[in-house]
Amino acid sequence: MSAERPLTLVVVDAGVSDPSSSRLLADRIAHRAVTALGEQGRTATTRSIALGPLAVDIARAIVSGHPGESLRAAIGELAAADGVITSTPVYTAGVSGLFKSFFDVLDDDLVVAKPVLLAATAGSPRHALVVEDQVRPMFAYLRALSVPTSVFAAPEDWGASALGDRIGRAAVELAALMASGVGDAIADRAWSGYRHRFDGNATRAEHTAAEVDFDTPLMRLAAGGAPLRKDASSGY
C-alpha cells in the first residue's frame, strides 16, 4: 500500500431515528480513527452508508437477488474501503434486522481481510454482549479483520469517561490495521483460496466475463443456442 495514497474509511450505520444514537456513536469513532491515522502520518476520507434510506432496496435484493442502483453504489463503496466502522441498534437482544439484511445481500468475499470495527447502541445495558455474541461471529464468517475492541453504548454510557476510553482504544486498533496494509497483503496473497461469486462485487474478483469459456454445451444452452450433437465417430 502506498504511503501517499489517502485511505478510505466507510461507516455503515443501521440507525433509523433522527438523530440516531448508532450514527452518533459511529461518527464519534470515525473522528477518533481519522485522528489516529493522522498521528501515523496518514490521511483518510470518511464515507457514510446510511442503511435506513436503503431499506426498501435491501428488501427487494433479498427477494429478487438483484440489488438496485443505490444499493449497488453502497456495496461498491464498501468494497473499495480500506477500513469499515459498523454501528447497529440492538432490539430485543438482537441486532437490527436492517443491519443483518444488508450484510446478507453482500458477496461472501466482499470484506475478506478488511479491517472492521464493531459498534452497537441500545436502550439498556442488558444488551451489552450482543456485539460479541452476534456481530463478531458474523464478520468472522465473512473473514473480515475485526479489531479486538468492540464498542457498545447504552444511555447511561454517553457521559462516562469509560466510553471515550473504549472508543479511543478501538479507533487506534482500526487505524493501526488500516495503516499497516495487512488486510490487502492477506487478501492479495490468499485470494485464490477463497470462494468467489462470478462477476461479483469484490474489488479483487478473479473471474470476469472475458475469462469464461462460453463455447461449451452448457453455456450455449444458457445463451439459447443448441449444444453440439453427439457423433459416434468422435464421441460428440
Q: For the segment 172-187, what is each residue's pLDDT rounded down to a tens digit?
A: 999 999 999 999 999 8
Taking the chain, what is the end-to-end CA distance rounded to the nearest angstrom?
Answer: 50
* Type of residue found at 168: G
Per-residue three-class SS string for 83-127: EEEEEEEEECCEECHHHHHHHHCCCCCCCCCCEEEEEEECCCHHH
Classified as helix, coil or strand, 167 is helix
Res 232 pLDDT > 90: no
Instruction: Cell numbers for 169, please give them.
Output: 482504544
Query: Who wins on pLDDT, 107 or 74?
Result: 74
Domain residue ranges of the chain, discontinuous segments joined by +: 7-193
CATH class of residue range 7-193: alpha beta
Cβ-in-10-Å burial (0-12, 13-18, 19+) of 199 comes to exposed
Query: Pick from 211, 207, 120: which is nearest to 166 by CA?
Result: 120
Contact 147, 180 (CB under 8 A): no
Position 194 scores a pLDDT of 72
Please indicate, yes or no, whether the overall pTM of this predicted structure exceeds 0.85: no
* pLDDT, tens digit, 9 for 90 and up, residues 18-62: 889 999 999 999 999 999 999 999 999 999 999 999 999 999 999
Q: How far apart, in whole angstroms, are the C-alpha atoms of residue 118 and residue 103?
A: 13
Q: Which residues contact 160 (CB under 8 A, 6 or more apart)?
A: none
Q: Hey, is 58 helix, strand or coil?
A: helix
Q: What is the pLDDT of the chain when averaged over all its residues?
A: 87
95/13 Cα distance (integer angstroms): 12
| Beta strand 83-91 pairing with 7-13 | parallel
Can you tell me the mean pLDDT for 147-156? Answer: 98
